[in-house]
A and B are shown apart, each in its own frame.
Chain A
Amino acid sequence: MKPSPFQLSRTARALFALALSCSTWLPSAHGFTFGITPGQRALFLQVGVGTMSGGFFNNGGTPGDNSTVNTASVTVPVAQLGSGTPQLMTTDSTVTASPWEGTAYCSSPATTGQVYVGGFFRRPGQGAGGNEAILSVSTPAALTSGNGDTIPFSRIAWTSLGIGDATATIPPGTFVGGGAQNLLTVSRNTWFESCLAFSYLNTEIVPAGTFTGTATFTLTAP
C-alpha cells in the first residue's frame, strides 16, 4: 500500500497530539484579582492670593500655581518715628476666603493687614517616618533702602488669627532675620490655616527711605 502524502511519522503524530491538546487546554481559575495603589502624596501652600479652579477643595476644586508676591507695608508717621509703638502693616492681598470651602476666614485685609497662610500635607500610611511637614519662613538679615540703609528684619512681628479659631494655628511671632525659622509642624493628612497680620515694631529712628525685604514661606515634606 502506497503511503498517503499526509501520513505522519509516530513522532510527528505525538507532537501534533501534544500541540492539539495544548491549544485547547486552559487552566481553571478559582478567583480573580486586581491590584490597587495608595493615594498620591500631595503638598499645598498658599500665602496671600492663590488660584483655585472649579470651586474649592471641598467640592472638587483644583489648585493652581500663583506666582504673585503680596506686600505688607506701612508708612510711619513722623510723630511716631522710633516711638516704640508698633505700626500695623496693611497688605495688597485681598484674600478673605479659605480655599477649603470658601467661607470668610480673614477679615478685611486692606484694613487689618491679614495675609492668608494655609495648606495641607497628604500622604498615605501612618507608619513611622514621614509623618510631618514643616512650615518655615526665611528672611534676609535686614530690609534695605535705596540708600543702603537697613532695618533688621527682626523689627517685624505678626499676630495670628482666623475667624472661628479658638487658638491661632500658626503661633504669633517675630522674624529672626538672616535665616529660616520654623513656624508650624504639620501632621500628615492635616489642614492648617491662619491669617497673619504684620507690624513694624518701630523701636528706633532710622534714616528716611523705603525699606524692602522679602520673607519666603516654605512647606517641606519628608
Chain B
Amino acid sequence: MNARLTLAMLAGLSALGAMLPAAAATYRIDDTGTFASQPVTPMRWRQLAPGRAGDHTVEGRSQVQLRLNLSQWVSRPARIYLSLAPTDGEQLVATWRTQGRLLPGTVRGGGRTLVFEGVVRDSFLQESIVIDLTADGRKVEHAQSLQFFFEIEVSP
C-alpha cells in the first residue's frame, strides 16, 4: 500500500511539473527612481462613527511614479508581478489603478499579482499608479511601513 501511495504521489508530481514553464527564473526588478507622492499615508475611517452595522474599515491612497529597469530582459517574454510584503497584524489590501502600461489589480500582504505578461519592449517601463489601501481599522494599531516590490519571471 505504501509503495502504491508513493507511486501515485510521483505520478502527481510529474503531472504538476508538466504544467509549469520549464525552469522559469524569478528576479527582483531594479526600480531605482520609483517614488511615492507622499512618504506617509494616513489611514482614515470609512465611517467616522462605527454605526449600527459596525463598519470598521480604514482606507488611504497614495500615488506612485514607477520606473522599472527591464534592460536585462528586452525582447524576452516575461511576467511581472507586484508584491506586497507581509503586513503587521492585519491583512491589508492594496488595489491599484494604472495608466495602461501595467495591469490594474489587487494584492494582500504577503501576496503578489500579475501586472504584465508579454515581451519586454523597452529597457525602462515608466508608469503612474494610484494605490488604494483598505484594512480593518481595529487591527491597524501602529504606524507601519508597507514594502512593495516587483518580480519578473522569464524563461531561459
Q: Which residues of A contact B48 (CB under 8 A)?
A: 42, 57, 62, 122
| Stretch binding the partner chain, chosen from B16-24, B100-108, B119-127, B133-141 | B133-141
B74 at interface by CB-CB < 8 Å: no
Known: A35-B144, A36-B92, A36-B133. 9 other contacts (CB 8 A): A28-B30, A31-B31, A33-B145, A34-B41, A39-B43, A39-B140, A101-B51, A124-B137, A126-B139
| Interface of chain B residues 50 through 105 with chain A (CB within 8 A) | 50-52, 54, 56, 58, 60, 62, 64, 69, 92
Also in contact, A126 and B42, with CB within 8 A (given A32-B64, A57-B51, A120-B50): no
The answer to whether B138 touches A58 (Cβ under 8 A) is no
B interface list, Cβ under 8 A from A: 28-36, 38-45, 47-52, 54, 56, 58, 60, 62, 64, 69, 92, 133, 137-150
A51 at interface by CB-CB < 8 Å: no
CA distance A124 to B138 in the complex (A): 5
Q: Which residues of A contact B31 (CB under 8 A)?
A: 29-32
Q: Which of B33, B139, B147 interacts with A125 by CB under 8 Å? A: B139
CA distance A30 to B32 in the complex (A): 7
A214 at interface by CB-CB < 8 Å: no
Closest to B65 in A: A32
The answer to whether A39 touches B149 (Cβ under 8 A) is no
The answer to whether A30 touches B50 (Cβ under 8 A) is no
Q: Which residues of A contact B32 (CB under 8 A)?
A: 26-29
A44 at interface by CB-CB < 8 Å: yes
Could you pull out 29 A-B pairs where Cβ atoms are within 8 angstroms?
A28-B30, A29-B31, A30-B149, A31-B31, A31-B148, A33-B36, A33-B147, A33-B148, A35-B145, A36-B41, A36-B60, A36-B92, A37-B41, A37-B42, A37-B43, A37-B143, A38-B141, A39-B44, A58-B47, A58-B51, A100-B51, A100-B52, A122-B49, A124-B141, A125-B140, A126-B139, A127-B141, A188-B138, A191-B52
Q: Which residues of A contact B35 (CB under 8 A)?
A: 32
A40 at interface by CB-CB < 8 Å: yes
The answer to whether B50 touches A191 (Cβ under 8 A) is yes
The answer to whether B51 touches A30 (Cβ under 8 A) is no
The answer to whether A44 touches B40 (Cβ under 8 A) is no
Also in contact, A100 and B49, with CB within 8 A (given A36-B43, A36-B133): yes
A interface list, Cβ under 8 A from B: 26-40, 42, 44, 57-58, 62, 100-101, 120, 122, 124-127, 188-191
Closest to B38 in A: A34
Q: Which residues of A contact B54 (CB under 8 A)?
A: 189-191
Q: Which residues of B contact A57 (CB under 8 A)?
A: 47-49, 51
Closest to A190 in B: B50
CA distance A62 to B40 in the complex (A): 25
Closest to B27 in A: A30
The answer to whether A31 touches B144 (Cβ under 8 A) is no
Q: Which residues of B contact A37 (CB under 8 A)?
A: 40-43, 143
CA distance A38 to B28 in the complex (A): 30
Q: Which residues of A contact B133 (CB under 8 A)?
A: 36
The answer to whether A120 touches B49 (Cβ under 8 A) is yes
Also in contact, A30 and B28, with CB within 8 A (given A38-B43, A42-B48, A58-B51): yes
